[in-house]
Chains A and B, each alone.
Chain A
Amino acid sequence: MNELLDLFLTFAKMGVMTFGGGMAMLPILQREVVENKHWATEEELVDYYAIGQCTPGIIAVNTATFIGQKKRGAIGGIVATLGVVFPSLVIISILAGLITNYSHLAWVQNAFAGIQVCVCVLIFNAVVKLLKKSVVDKPTAAIFALVLAGGVFLDVSPVWFVIAAALAGIVLKNLEVKGK
């Protein structure tokens, strides 16, 4: 089979099987990419996955691009990414169309009102989980608190917080080194 088509289809399959976000993808990637296709070694995959979390954007997409480019260069990276997003495009577009058609029904509105409460809790849980990983000392706690307050009370694009935080990280780490 054509290699690019194989990349597209393999990652499309992983797009369907990923249920709930990039983190859920690692075991599936291990089986497909390392064991079945031999496109990357276990170590490479763990590296890609770790760096995929440290580059902007969706983790699943970043990892797909890494593996695709390793196999077939830039085109491979693009094809693998298109593969990962393809199932989402199809499924969500169909669902979005359906929901729009039925959204005037009382029971649909009631169901979503209940679901919204659940989403609040899910986001809250995500924040708590991330807190444990990202707030490791006093300076990171301060950055978290400042950005949280800024996000709630200021009408500023999140972009500026991200840029400021990256700079703050660099400055704080350099001060720390000098302090020693």
Chain B
Amino acid sequence: MSVYLRLFWEFFKTGLFAVGGGMATLPFLQDIGQVTGWYTYTDLMNMLAVSESTPGPIGINMATYVGFTVGGLPGAVIATIGEVTPSIIVVLIVAAMLKKFRDSRLVNDAFYGLRPASTGLIGAACVAVVLEVLTSVASQTPEGSIVNTFSLTGTGLFNWPGLLLAAVLLVFTNWVKPTKKLHPIVFIAISAVVGVVFQFGRF
């Protein structure tokens, strides 16, 4: 199958089954990367970071980015169109029977199950991403590192500087009043600087 056809199909499925907005597409994108080998978890993390830091809905940005990675500009267009096609079809149908849809018991009952499932899927994506980034379960430590700023790091199971940064970010995004309302781009930018200063690429 041509890569573009495959790209359209995979994103069509994502657009059809990802319920609850942009972040809900993440588990699907992970699955696509795993099945096709087009990109790794780490690639996907970078794409998600860029998608959060640029204008436009996150879900669309991610589809465009993944499409671009796989097939250049045509890939970006095809992935994005693939993702929005089911939305357009479904919404046009729903719009024709708006009242019926809103009052439908069947739809409400289905969503009673869909909402926690969508959260569970994103949760599982979160676990995979944390294992990838903050532990060495899936990655290798490069040899011959220069001076270790964080003496605990090296070949251990955990990425200690990463965990430390994560803990600090967790506090500032959840519990510190003046900072928790800040846009994610602020935290992404700070993390980039921390990454450069402490050479996070080594861990």
- Give chain B's interface residue range (CB within 8 Å of chain A): 35 or more
- Give the distance to chain A from B91, nearest Cβ to Cβ, in Å: 4
Are A61's CB and B87's CB within 8 A? yes
A115 contact set on B, CB distance < 8 A:
45-46, 49, 188, 191-192, 195
User: Is the Cβ of A158 less than 8 Å from the Cβ of B31?
Assistant: yes
Of the stretches A1-9, A29-37, A146-154, the one at the interface is A146-154
Q: Is B37 an interface residue (CB 8 A)?
A: no
Cα A56 to Cα B126 with chains together (Å): 21
- CB neighbours (8 Å) of A66 from chain B are 91, 95
A26-78 interface (Cβ within 8 A of B): 47, 51-62, 65-66, 69-70, 74, 77-78
A95 contacts which chain B residues (CB < 8 A)? 50, 54
Which chain B residues border A55 with CB–CB below 8 Å?
87, 90-91, 94
Q: Does A10 have its Cβ within 8 Å of any Cβ on chain B? A: no
| B4–chain A nearest beta-carbon distance, Å | 15
**Known A-B contacts A78-B88, A92-B68; A144 and B110 likewise in contact (beta carbons under 8 Å):** no
Q: Name the B residues within 8 Å of A146 (CB-CB).
A: 120
Identify whether the interface residues of A are mostly helix, strand, loop, or mixed: helix
User: Roughly how many angstroms separate A160 CA and B196 CA in the complex, as a whole number?
Assistant: 41
B38 contacts A by Cβ under 8 Å: no
A12-27 contacts to B, CB under 8 A, are 15-23, 25
A-B contact count (CB 8 A): 375
Q: Are B201 and A58 in contact, with the CB atoms below 8 A? A: no
* Band of interface residues on A: 35 or more
The answer for the CA separation of A118 and B194 in the assembled complex, in Å, is: 11
Do B16 and A151 touch across chains, with their CB atoms under 8 A apart?
no
In the complex with contacts A20-B183, A144-B116, A99-B133 CB distance below 8 A? no
A88-B61, A91-B56, A133-B115 known; A119 vs B123 contact (CB < 8 Å): no
- What separation, in Å, do the CA atoms of A55 and B201 have in the docked complex? 40
Encoded as 1 (CB less than 8 Å from any B CB) or 0, chain A from 149 to 166 comes to 011100001110111111
Contact of B201 among A17, A23, A106, A133 (CB under 8 A): A106
Beyond A54-B111, A111-B195, A117-B166, whether A87 also contacts B76 by CB under 8 A is no
How far, in whole Å, are A109 and B195 apart by their CA atoms in the complex?
8
User: Interface on B for A, CB 8 Å cutoff?
Assistant: 13, 15-23, 25-28, 31, 35, 42, 45-46, 48-52, 54-61, 64-65, 68-69, 73, 76-77, 80, 83-84, 86-88, 90-92, 94-95, 98, 101-102, 105-130, 133-134, 162, 165-166, 169-170, 173-174, 183-185, 187-188, 190-196, 198-203
Using a CB–CB cutoff of 8 Å, the interface residues on chain A facing chain B are: 15-23, 25, 47, 51-62, 65-66, 69-70, 74, 77-78, 81, 84-85, 87-89, 91-93, 95-97, 99, 106-107, 109-128, 130-131, 133-135, 139-141, 143-148, 150-152, 157-159, 161-170, 172-174
